[in-house]
């Protein structure tokens, strides 16, 4: 695919590579929801009013898991988790997820023009969660002007990389590729 491409339609159901061994997205979601319901663990996370905080957790079946604190008004920016499937659950506060219902090419492009109708938005109150498959493109936000949010995230296989994107209207641009050493 060229450096600039157009995505014309959503990903077909069931498309994508065969699943690797390990926990599936439903098992990751179950872990995230159970962990988010642990008040002692949630209360143990140090919260910073200036930036997100996180603690690595032991996830199920060799998965990578994180407890994350979100100060008011913070978010992740647009990104994906490459070949990892995942889930997250809100433990405290409310998070909003904006996502795209399309599978992006794994390489060979720098900028994509997105077709209309691909945007999805969901709000996850405390106790709610969300599972997703490989190459899921989203941003997660704590839109509250006053309240911290806390969430639990799990990924399998452990994150090989995260691609970060900028978005201007219908144009999605690949900005950066991060490796585990960049965030651990």
Count CA atoms closer than 13 A to 100's CA, side-chain side: 28
How much of the chain, in percent, has pLDDT values that exceed 70? Answer: 88
Mean pLDDT of the chain: 88
Q: Is the pLDDT of residue 31 over 80?
A: yes
How far is the C-alpha of 69 from the C-alpha of 53, rounded, in Å? 5
Query: Given this model, what pLDDT does residue 105 score?
Result: 80
For 5, other C-beta atoms within 10 Å of its C-beta total 15
- The dotted CATH code for 22-182 is 2.60.120.10
What is the pLDDT averaged over residues 75-87?
Answer: 94
How far is the C-alpha of 151 from the C-alpha of 96, rounded, in Å? 12
How far is the C-alpha of 151 from the C-alpha of 37, rounded, in Å? 10
User: Could you give the strand order of the β-sheet that contains 4-7, starting from the edge strand earlier in sequence?
Assistant: 4-7, 111-114, 171-178, 162-168, 78-80, 138-141, 94-100, 119-125
The residue extents of the domains of the chain are 22-182
Asked whether the beta carbons of 28 and 154 are under 8 A apart, the reply is yes
pTM of the model: 0.85
DSSP state of 11: P
């Amino acid at each position: 695919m060229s450096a600039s491409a157009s995505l014309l339609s959503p990903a077909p159901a069931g498309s994508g590579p065969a699943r690797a061994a390990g926990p599936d997205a439903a098992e990751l979601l179950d872990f995230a929801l159970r962990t988010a319901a642990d008040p002692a663990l949630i209360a143990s996370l140090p919260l910073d009013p200036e930036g997100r905080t996180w603690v690595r957790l032991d996830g199920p079946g060799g998965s990578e898991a994180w407890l994350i604190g979100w100060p008011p008004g913070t978010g992740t920016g647009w990104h994906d988790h490459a070949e990892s499937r995942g889930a997250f659950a809100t433990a405290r506060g409310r998070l909003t997820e904006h996502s795209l219902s399309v599978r992006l090419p794994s390489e060979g492009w720098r900028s994509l023009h997105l077709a209309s109708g691909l945007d999805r938005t969901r709000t996850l109150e405390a106790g709610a969660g969300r599972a997703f498959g490989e190459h899921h493109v989203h941003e997660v936000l704590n839109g509250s002007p006053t309240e911290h949010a806390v969430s639990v995230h799990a990924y399998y296989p452990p994150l090989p990389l995260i691609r970060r994107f900028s978005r201007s209207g219908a144009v999605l641009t690949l900005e950066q590729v991060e490796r585990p050493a960049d965030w651990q």
